[in-house]
Amino acid sequence: MNENRWEGIDEFVAVAECSQFTAAAERLGVSSSHISRQVARLEERLQTRLFYRSTRKVTLTEAGQTFLQHCQRLQDGREEALRAVGDLASEPKGMLRMTCAVAYGERFIVPLVTRFMGLYPQLRVDIELSNRPLDLVHESLDLAIRLGRLQDSRLVATRLAPRRMYVCASPSYLEHYGRPHSLSELSRHNCLIGSSDLWQLQQDGREFSQRVQGNWRCNSGQAVLDAALQGVGLCQLPDYYVLEHLKTGALVSLLDTHQPPNTAVWALYPQQRHLSPKVRKLVDYLKEGLARREEYQG
């Protein structure tokens, strides 16, 4: 079969979706005779009937119904390929709405987004920093930066950077109250509580949440860090809060064998096969920019 294997497919799909040759011809801007000729040639090549024809309408045969599903996917893939190639040269422009947690956004994400905007002057950005996970579809958001483990399977995720949780305390606290060597000893210590009193830990390869207790609570990671540095209690915080202080000795890492498996920093966007240039290029820029930061070296 040397003929053009794509010939007649667009005409076939149009007839199947319109249930009429004349309506299909109007959709494609060609004559009815052209539609009939192309469909007939397609049936001849396939050696099967695709339609039952009557004076008023046409209906698909069983083979036609099967063939239609595959042809529609082929059309979708063809359009997707054309858009993808066309967007390679397209510059990000228009409005991009995104969200991120407050502290991480202020320190890591917003500076990168600001530099990204400098590269693309036609782009406008609306960033909402919130520790409340916003619904991307309901809030009409193009992109969300999320930390930790993902819950929403309706979203597509791209990993931007690693994220490791540390349990730690200041040397002055450990000097006064001792160092915990097992998870059971956590109950004897004053644990600084942030936005949750559940700490993520693991034992024997099993990850779990352990409820902790203490006389201090604040829903700010920076505030938890400050209290830990002052020797008020133990804390559990992500790497970007504590790594600098672990290097200087202002904090000591504890229960290292019980750290939960690495979580991550994620870029999330609504499910769609083709990302707009502004979202795709920003996600790539964020991934490259975070990889260059000292916090993610080594």
- The CATH number assigned to the domain holding 124 equals 3.40.190.10
Query: Each residue's pLDDT tens digit in the chain (298 positions)?
Result: 445 677 889 999 999 999 889 999 998 999 999 999 999 999 999 999 999 988 778 899 999 999 999 998 888 777 767 766 655 557 888 899 999 999 899 999 999 999 999 999 899 999 999 988 888 878 889 999 999 877 766 788 899 999 999 999 999 999 999 999 999 999 999 999 998 899 999 998 888 899 999 999 999 999 999 999 999 999 999 998 999 999 999 999 999 999 887 689 999 988 765 578 899 999 999 999 999 988 777 5
Residues 169, 175, 181: CA angle, nearest 5 degrees: 60
Residue numbers of the domain that contains 244: 165-258
Distance CA(79)–CA(63), nearest Å, equals: 24
Quick one: 143 exposed, middle or buried, by C-beta within 10 A (0-12, 13-18, 19+)? Answer: buried
Distance CA(261)–CA(242), nearest Å, equals: 17
61/204 same-domain check: no
Q: Which residues contact 23 (CB under 8 A, 6 or more apart)?
A: none
Distance CA(102)–CA(73), nearest Å, equals: 41
- The CATH number assigned to the domain holding 233 equals 3.40.190.290
* 15's tokens: 């007839």
144/282 same-domain check: yes
Beta bridge partners of 58: 53
Does 195 reside within a domain? yes
Is residue 27 within 8 Å of residue 14, measured between CB atoms? yes
Does 143 reside within a domain? yes
Q: Determine phi and psi for 90, rounding to 5 degrees.
A: -85, 135
66/179 same-domain check: no
63/176 same-domain check: no
156/170 same-domain check: no
Is residue 240 within 8 Å of residue 104, measured between CB atoms? yes
126/203 same-domain check: no
Angle between helices 32-46 and 9-18 (to 10 degrees): 110
Which pTM was predicted?
Answer: 0.65
